[in-house]
Amino acid sequence: MKYLILLAAGMADEPVESLDNRTPLEAAQTPTLDALARGGKTGSVKMIPEDLPASEEVALLAALGYSPHKHFTGEGGHALGDAPFNQGEGRSAYRFNMVTAPDGVLLDHAAGQITPREAESLLATLSGALGRPDVQFHVGRGFSGAAALPQGDGAVLCAPPETLIGQPLEKHLPHGGDCALAKRIIELSRELFTEHEVNRVRADLGENPADALWLWGPGWAPVLQPFQARYGLRGAMVAAAESARGLGKLLGLHTPLVAGATGGYRTDYVAKAQAALKLIKEYDLVVLHVAAPAEASLEGNIQRKVAAIQEMDAMVAAPLAEFARGRDDTRLMVISTHLASVTQRRRLRAEVPCVLFGAGLEPVRQARFSEETASAGELEAKQGETLLPYFLRP
C-alpha cells in the first residue's frame, strides 16, 4: 500500500464577516477537496491539546502519529533538526523570526517574508558584531529559522511573534532563567538592522523591513523513535518550513530540498507536488507540507488565504488525488494541521477538518469539504495522534 498525506497548515479558520460569515475554506473554490470528501471519509480532529502551546510543532507531532504530550520539547528543537549543525551539549534550541517593528511596535511577524539570501546577510552582520562562536543561526525560510544558544540556569520564556502584533517588543523580551544573552541578541539586532543595506533596498521597493530578530520557543530536540521502526514504512517529507523539515529529519524521513519551495505563500506548488509524486514511487509514505494558508492567516490577509487554499487545491491536491483515484493500492489524507484565525492573526486549538480517500475507504455521505461538514463526519479518530494509525490500518 502507498500513502500520501497533505498537511495544509492553518487551512481551517473561523467564519469571517467580510466573507458573508463563511470561513476562507468555505469561500474558496476547492473542487478537488470537495470531490475527495464526497468520495471518502471526513471528520474533525483535535490536533493540539488544550494544555500545550497552539503551535505548528505540536500539531505536526500529532499528525505524524506521535504524542505531543510525550514528545513536545519546545518549538526550537524541531526547527533545529533542519540545521546543518547539532544543538550540542549545554545549548538550547530557539526559533527565530525576522520581524517588522517600526518604533519598537511589532507590525509583521515575518518582515514581508524576507528571503533566505537577505536573512543571511543580516545574520552575518549580527553574528560578527555579537562575537560569540557558541551562538549559531540556521536561516530556514529566511523570515524564520532556528538558533542554538548556550544554556543558562532556569527556563527562559519567549512569546511567539504572531501573538505580539501591535504590541511593543520592549514589554515582551525574553524573561526568566538566564535570559541575558537572548535579550542581548534581540537588542543588538535592532541596533544593526535598521540601517542595514538589505533594509534600505527593501524600503526603496516598498517592502516591510526586517527591523529585528525575535527569539522564541526555546527547547531541545526531542528523542523520537524513527518513523520506519514505529510504523514499518519507508517515508519521505516534502516541506520547506524548518519546523516540518526538522521533524522529518528527526524521524528519519527522507527530506529533500525542492527548488522553488519557500515555506511561504510565494511558493512553487507544482514543484512540491511533482516531488511528492516522484518520491511515492520509491517510498511507502510521502508527507507534503504546505505552509501558505497559515502564513496568510498570521499576516491577517483574508483574500490571500482564500487564494492560497485555491492554489493548493488546484496545484497540489489535484495531482495527488489524480494519482490516488482508481488505484487499489493508494490512500490519500488531507488535513489542516491546526486552525489559524485570519482575523485574530494567531493559531488556535480548535478541531480541524480531515478527509481520507482511496483504497478501502468507502464514501459514507455526499458533502463538500469544510469545517462544518467535517464536524458531522464519520471518522472514528478524534485525537490527532490516533489519526495516522487509523489512516494506515488495513
As a whole number, the mean pLDDT across the chain is 95
CATH class of the 2-71+224-392 domain in this structure: alpha beta
8-17, 191-200, 356-365: lowest mean pLDDT where? 356-365
For the segment 338-362, the average pLDDT, to the nearest whole number, is: 95
Residue 154 has pLDDT above 80, yes or no: no
d(CA 226, CA 372): 35
Q: Give me Rg for the CA atoms of the chain.
A: 20
Q: Which residues contact 353 (CB under 8 A, 6 or more apart)?
A: 11, 12, 25, 42, 43, 44, 335, 336, 369, 370, 371, 373, 374, 375, 377
Give me the pLDDT at residue 241, please: 96
In this prediction, residue 265 carries a pLDDT of 84
pLDDT tens for 233-268 read: 999 999 999 999 999 999 999 999 999 999 998 899
- How confident is the model at residue 177, as a pLDDT? 86
Q: What is the pLDDT of residues 225-241, one digit of tens each?
A: 999 999 999 999 999 99
% of the chain beyond a pLDDT of 70: 100
Classify burial at 178, counting beta carbons within 10 Å of its beta carbon; exposed 0-12, middle 13-18, buried 19 or more: middle
Q: Compute CA distances 368 → 25, 63, 308, 314, whole Å.
A: 11, 22, 18, 16
Q: Which of 238, 119, 218 is nearest to 174 (CA)?
A: 218
- C-alpha of 338 from chain center: 9
Residues in the chain: 394
Q: Over 90: is that where the pLDDT of 90 sits? A: no
What is the band of 151 on the pLDDT scale with cuts at 50, 70, 90? confident
- What pLDDT does residue 346 have? 95
Residue type, 312: M
Kindly indicate the confidence band of residue 306, based on its pLDDT and cuts at 50, 70 and 90: very high
When comparing pLDDT for 282 and 80, which is higher? Answer: 282
Q: Which residues contact 107 (CB under 8 A, 6 or more apart)?
A: 99, 100, 101, 165, 166, 208
Return the domain boundaries, the chain: 2-71+224-392, 91-219
**CA-to-CA distance for 210 and 112, rounded, in angstroms?**
8
Q: Which residue has the cell 552582520?
A: 125
Q: How confident is the model at residue 88 (pLDDT cuts 50, 70, 90)?
A: confident
Q: How many CB atoms lie within 10 A of CB 375?
A: 13
- What gap in Å lies between CA 151 and CA 275, rounded to an integer? 38
pLDDT tens string 171-229: 999 999 889 999 999 999 999 999 999 999 999 999 999 999 999 999 998 999 999 99
Exposed (0-12), middle (13-18) or buried (19+): which is 313, by Cβ within 10 Å? buried
Instruction: Tell whether the model's pLDDT for residue 380 goes beyond 90.
Output: no
Check the CA dihedral 198-203-209-211 and report its sign. Answer: positive
pLDDT of residue 362: 84
Note the pLDDT of residue 38.
Answer: 95
